[in-house]
């Protein structure tokens, strides 16, 4: 286990800690009050240095209190990171249990250590730290990585499910527990209705995304993932809003004084808080998008702008007692599209990674607090309350899932099956959110706070461990996967072919959604918003040279790995083939099967694949790149043999500098920049200059006359996916370097960027697909398509 490597590391530090404590002998709390204590410490130090005649000048002294807080926090985060590394080293683990399990365990471990060493300063999380510092990054990350298209397509279902589901759960659990509390035998009669409702609202805050990674490989369909993701996103916001409203009620006056007017006011407030938050978020999103339009010369502050505006939206909303969570989510969603096109590539990567990092740190810290609070003396165990809480959580979730989906299925084109609903029911794993809200209950209003905290902890541990670990097998069972391991080579090959075929046909079919609304929005967006918010005339020169460098390097690599080698693509020499049927022994067959399994290309994932804790590695970039190069090669081969191509050498040597259209011989990778439907990318495409490479091939057999290559800025394509940027260019000079006789002739130098993750992000609408298309250096358009090329320019204006 990963913990083994932590063990030698851990005790040393804690030993050091103990020693320091004995020496330091001070105790402080790990919150802002430490600052005040640090101050006198500081003064003391200086005083000691200055005036007091100490015994001697200490050559070696220890001042632990000075660094205590940052030191411990850093240690915890490092510990969690090491555990995560260990977790992923064992490949099977991530498929078995969600990463939250791991974090909970790490938290418990830290808690044990602190408790065991009787450390005098257990970390304390208070309300302002949580709501101001720890919560926003988590929510921001969720909002930023949300794939917008599936979200808005399913928004009705998502709002219905997340909103009503949270409310039903909260009130259901609260009321049921209140009824239980009325039973005298359990000794809970001092817990009144409001407290129960509050507890219900905080315990219904689920974090289902944590389990998403566990059954990701089971190819859950897109709608289901989107429902889960949408629920996770909105659930936090709704719980916190409910929580705040109920706390306000609790503070207001005694329970008996609450009148129906107040309840109505509460409902109205709920709606206003929600919508107001979203409104502010959208405003800030637009502002920040607008500002990024002007940052081309100081791209280093772009991430800063993104983060600061998001955070600002949160703070402003909180100031006005609106929902900061919904504000920051709306801000992230609005801003993402435009910011991605405006900022430079590196800024984009920075933003993504930094966001992941911040949210991961926040969550780790919350889990550590949770662990510390678990292993402690401040528990109150009440069997009845806890057991019934657990039971009611499950019961009410089941009720809400099945009831709400039954209703929404009547209106959906593609209803959710019972299997889907079971998965949604079972993914109701609680997470850090519930714990924080429970922990921050004001003790004055909740004399039995400890009981609530204990109950929350039990529910969290139960759901995270039991449900988290069993959901994988459950999903696989429901999926009725063929467990037929002994697939013959035939079957493997053919099934993979069929998968690819199916994915291809799905792409041809495109996405069927509510065209009208989407089209209207796109028109509006294209006409007004993009003009205001997107940069004009993105400078290309630096990018171009950067790409050239990248491509050269990659081309060299590729040549070395044999992609460009003739053997990979040559027509097999029939003469050398000796047709014998060999009898293969089983081991050979096995190894063959293995080779096939491991090397066949993966089917492009259309569903969104969101992993809360990680950004997926870019393996399928390579795959896409290989496929494209191969197509280029084979196509070139076929054209070389004089297959009929209506396009002749039209290009000539006209040096037309069209801003968006490449010309040359037709390629299967005919990734033209199309205007009509692909409104989202017109902006970026039209701004791209084309670069002419006058390659005269030695044999001059092909339309190498003039190639226009278009370098499309990579960032113009980001749709919730990771940036591909693998520019690949087989340069003429590089050709000469390689000196491949046969091939050197025919290298149209396409410039294309392998795109992959766009696929996984599930944004497979026409725009994205063509956006992906347009990313490719759209090479080759015959001259007669000139009229077509004009079109986009005209239309754009």
Partner 1 sequence: MGSRSSHAARIPDVDSIRRETGFSQASLLRLYHRFRALDWNEKGYLSRVDLQQIGALAVNPLGDRIIDSFFPDGSLHLDFPGFVRVLARFRPVDDEDNGNRDPKEPEPLNSRMNKLRFAFQLYDLDRDGKISRQEMLQVLRLMVGVQVTEEQLESIADRTVQEADEDGDGAVSFLEFAKSLEKMNIEQKMSIRILK
Give the separation between CA 138 and CA 144, rounded to whole angstroms: 10
- Beta carbon of residue 337, minimum distance to partner 1 (angstroms, whole number): 18
Asked if 702 and 636 touch (Cβ cutoff 8 Å), the reply is yes
Half-sphere exposure of residue 55: CA atoms within 13 angstroms, side-chain side: 2
- Beta carbon of residue 558, minimum distance to partner 1 (angstroms, whole number): 9
- Beta carbon of residue 722, minimum distance to partner 1 (angstroms, whole number): 15
Give the separation between CA 251 and CA 628, rounded to whole angstroms: 64
- Beta carbon of residue 225, minimum distance to partner 1 (angstroms, whole number): 15
Other CB atoms within 10 A of residue 290 CB: 16
- Beta carbon of residue 642, minimum distance to partner 1 (angstroms, whole number): 16
- Beta carbon of residue 678, minimum distance to partner 1 (angstroms, whole number): 9
Nearer to partner 1, 403 or 592 (CB): 592
The secondary structure of 500-557, three-state, reads: HHHHHHHHHHCCCCCHHHHHHHHHHHHHHHHHHHCCCCCCCHHHHHHHHHHHHHHHHH
- Beta carbon of residue 502, minimum distance to partner 1 (angstroms, whole number): 6
Give the separation between CA 161 and CA 679, rounded to whole angstroms: 31
Give the separation between CA 399 and CA 247, rounded to whole angstroms: 26
Alpha-carbon Rg for the chain in angstroms: 30
Q: To 5 degrees, how large is the angle CA 706–CA 710–CA 713?
A: 165
Nearer to partner 1, 238 or 688 (CB): 688
- Beta carbon of residue 670, minimum distance to partner 1 (angstroms, whole number): 4
- Beta carbon of residue 727, minimum distance to partner 1 (angstroms, whole number): 15
- Beta carbon of residue 689, minimum distance to partner 1 (angstroms, whole number): 21
CA 741 to chain centre: 46
Map tokens 């339309």 to a residue: 703
Nearer to partner 1, 391 or 595 (CB): 595
Nearer to partner 1, 136 or 748 (CB): 748
Nearer to partner 1, 242 or 555 (CB): 555
Structure token digits, residue 9: 């590391």
- Beta carbon of residue 328, minimum distance to partner 1 (angstroms, whole number): 32
- Beta carbon of residue 671, minimum distance to partner 1 (angstroms, whole number): 6
Among 201, 195, 196, 198, which residue's Cα sits nearest to residue 170? 201
Give the separation between CA 788 and CA 214, rounded to whole angstroms: 47
- Beta carbon of residue 191, minimum distance to partner 1 (angstroms, whole number): 48
Nearer to partner 1, 283 or 563 (CB): 563
Structure token digits, residue 312: 């600002």
What does DSSP assign to residue 206? B
Give the separation between CA 189 and CA 699, rounded to whole angstroms: 94
Coil, strand or helix: which one is 753? strand
Nearer to partner 1, 514 or 657 (CB): 514
Asked if 435 and 111 touch (Cβ cutoff 8 Å), the reply is no
Strand 707-710 and strand 726-729: the pairing is unpaired
Nearer to partner 1, 161 or 759 (CB): 759
CA 661 to chain centre: 33
- Across the strands, what pairs with 688? none
- Beta carbon of residue 36, minimum distance to partner 1 (angstroms, whole number): 59
Nearer to partner 1, 424 or 769 (CB): 769
Structure token digits, residue 736: 């000469």
Nearer to partner 1, 502 or 657 (CB): 502
- Across the strands, what pairs with 726? 754
Asked if 685 and 713 touch (Cβ cutoff 8 Å), the reply is no
Give the separation between CA 414 and CA 149, rounded to whole angstroms: 17
Asked if 535 and 293 touch (Cβ cutoff 8 Å), the reply is yes
Nearer to partner 1, 447 or 510 (CB): 510
Residue 173 exposed, middle or buried by CB count within 10 Å (0-12, 13-18, 19+): buried
Nearer to partner 1, 4 or 574 (CB): 574
Q: To 5 degrees, how large is the angle CA 289–CA 722–CA 777?
A: 90
* DSSP H or E stretch at residue 391: helix 383-409
Nearer to partner 1, 442 or 510 (CB): 510
Nearer to partner 1, 32 or 491 (CB): 491
Nearer to partner 1, 116 or 504 (CB): 504
Give the separation between CA 244 and CA 251, rounded to whole angstroms: 10
- Beta carbon of residue 631, minimum distance to partner 1 (angstroms, whole number): 7
Nearer to partner 1, 92 or 486 (CB): 486
- Beta carbon of residue 523, minimum distance to partner 1 (angstroms, whole number): 8
The torsion of the CA quartet 430, 432, 434, 436, rounded to 10 degrees, works out to 170
Structure token digits, residue 241: 């809003």
Among 453, 434, 393, which residue's Cα sits nearest to residue 242? 434
Nearer to partner 1, 326 or 717 (CB): 717
- Beta carbon of residue 584, minimum distance to partner 1 (angstroms, whole number): 6
- Beta carbon of residue 669, minimum distance to partner 1 (angstroms, whole number): 5
Q: Is the dihedral of CA 530, 536, 542, 548 positive or negative?
A: positive
* DSSP H or E stretch at residue 201: helix 193-203
Q: Is the dihedral of CA 290, 292, 298, 303 positive or negative?
A: positive
Nearer to partner 1, 236 or 764 (CB): 764
Q: To 5 degrees, how large is the angle CA 566–CA 621–CA 690?
A: 80
Give the separation between CA 726 and CA 549, rounded to whole angstroms: 11
């Amino acid at each position: 286990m990963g913990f083994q490597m932590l063990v030698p590391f851990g005790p040393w530090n804690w030993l050091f800690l103990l020693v320091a404590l004995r020496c330091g002998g001070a105790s402080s709390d790990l919150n802002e009050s430490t600052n005040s204590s640090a101050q006198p410490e500081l003064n003391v130090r200086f005083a000691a240095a200055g005036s007091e005649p100490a015994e001697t000048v200490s050559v070696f002294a220890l001042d632990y209190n000075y660094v205590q807080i940052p030191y411990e926090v850093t240690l915890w985060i490092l510990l969690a990171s090491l555990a995560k590394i260990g977790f992923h080293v064992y490949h099977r683990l991530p498929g078995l249990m969600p990463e939250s399990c791991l974090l909970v365990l790490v938290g418990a471990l830290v808690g044990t250590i602190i408790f065991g060493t009787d450390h005098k300063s257990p970390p304390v999380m208070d309300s302002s730290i949580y709501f101001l510092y720890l919560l926003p990054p988590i929510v921001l990350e969720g909002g930023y990585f949300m794939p917008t298209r599936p979200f808005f397509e399913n928004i009705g279902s998502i709002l219905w499910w997340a909103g009503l589901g949270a409310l039903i759960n909260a009130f259901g659990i609260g009321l049921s527990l209140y009824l239980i509390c009325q039973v005298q035998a359990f000794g809970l009669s001092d817990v009144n209705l409001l407290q129960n409702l509050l507890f219900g609202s905080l315990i219904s805050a689920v974090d289902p995304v944590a389990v998403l990674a566990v059954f990701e490989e089971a190819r859950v369909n897109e709608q289901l993932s989107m429902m889960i993701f949408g629920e996770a996103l909105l659930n936090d916001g709704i719980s916190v809003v409910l929580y705040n409203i109920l706390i306000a009620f609790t503070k207001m006056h005694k329970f008996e004084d609450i009148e129906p007017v107040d309840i109505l006011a509460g409902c109205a407030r709920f709606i206003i808080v929600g919508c107001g938050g979203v409104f502010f978020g959208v405003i800030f999103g637009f502002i920040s998008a607008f500002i990024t339009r002007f940052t081309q010369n100081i791209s280093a502050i772009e991430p800063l702008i993104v983060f600061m505006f998001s955070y600002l939206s949160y703070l402003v909303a909180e100031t006005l007692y609106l929902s900061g969570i919904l504000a920051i989510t709306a801000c992230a969603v609005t801003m993402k599209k435009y910011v991605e096109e405006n900022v430079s590539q590196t800024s984009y990567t920075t933003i993504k990674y930094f966001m992941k990092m911040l949210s991961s740190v926040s969550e780790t810290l919350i889990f550590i607090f949770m662990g510390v609070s678990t292993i402690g003396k401040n528990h109150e165990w009440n069997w009845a309350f806890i057991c019934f809480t657990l039971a009611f959580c499950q019961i009410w979730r089941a009720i809400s899932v099945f009831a709400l989906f039954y209703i929404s299925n009547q209106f959906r084109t593609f209803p959710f099956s019972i299997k889907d609903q079971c998965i949604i029911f079972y993914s109701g794993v609680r997470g850090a959110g519930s714990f924080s809200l429970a922990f921050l209950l004001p003790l004055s209003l909740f004399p039995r706070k400890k009981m609530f905290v204990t109950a929350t902890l039990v529910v969290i541990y139960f759901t995270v461990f039991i449900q988290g670990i069993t959901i994988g097998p459950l999903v696989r069972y429901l999926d009725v996967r063929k467990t037929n391991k002994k697939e013959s080579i035939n079957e493997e090959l053919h099934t993979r072919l069929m998968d690819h075929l199916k994915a291809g046909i799905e792409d041809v079919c495109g996405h069927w959604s509510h065209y009208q609304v989407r089209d209207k929005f796109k028109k509006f967006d294209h006409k007004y918003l993009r003009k205001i918010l997107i940069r004009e005339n993105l400078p290309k020169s630096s990018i171009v040279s950067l790409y050239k460098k990248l491509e050269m390097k990659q081309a060299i690599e590729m040549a070395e790995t044999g992609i460009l080698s003739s053997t990979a693509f040559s027509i097999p020499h029939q003469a050398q083939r000796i047709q014998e049927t060999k009898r293969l022994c089983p081991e050979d067959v096995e190894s063959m099967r293995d080779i096939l399994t491991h090397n066949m290309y993966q089917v492009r994932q259309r569903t969104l694949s969101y992993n809360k804790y990680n950004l997926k590695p870019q393996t399928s970039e390579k795959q896409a790149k290989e496929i494209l190069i191969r197509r280029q090669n084979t196509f070139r081969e076929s054209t070389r043999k004089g297959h009929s191509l209506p396009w002749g050498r039209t290009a000539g040597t006209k040096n037309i500098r069209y801003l968006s259209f490449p010309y040359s011989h037709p390629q299967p990778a005919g990734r033209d920049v199309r205007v009509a439907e692909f409104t989202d990318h017109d902006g970026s495409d039209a701004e791209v200059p084309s670069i002419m490479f006058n390659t005269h091939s030695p044999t001059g057999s092909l339309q190498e006359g003039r190639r226009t290559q278009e370098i499309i800025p990579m960032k113009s394509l980001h749709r919730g996916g990771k940036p591909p940027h693998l520019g690949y260019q087989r340069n003429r000079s590089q050709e000469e370097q390689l000196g491949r006789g046969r091939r050197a002739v025919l290298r149209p130098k396409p410039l294309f960027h392998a795109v992959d993750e766009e696929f996984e992000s599930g944004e497979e609408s026409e725009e994205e697909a063509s956006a992906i298309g347009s990313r490719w250096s759209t090479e080759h358009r015959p001259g007669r398509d000139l009229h077509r090329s004009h079109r986009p320019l005209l239309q754009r204006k």
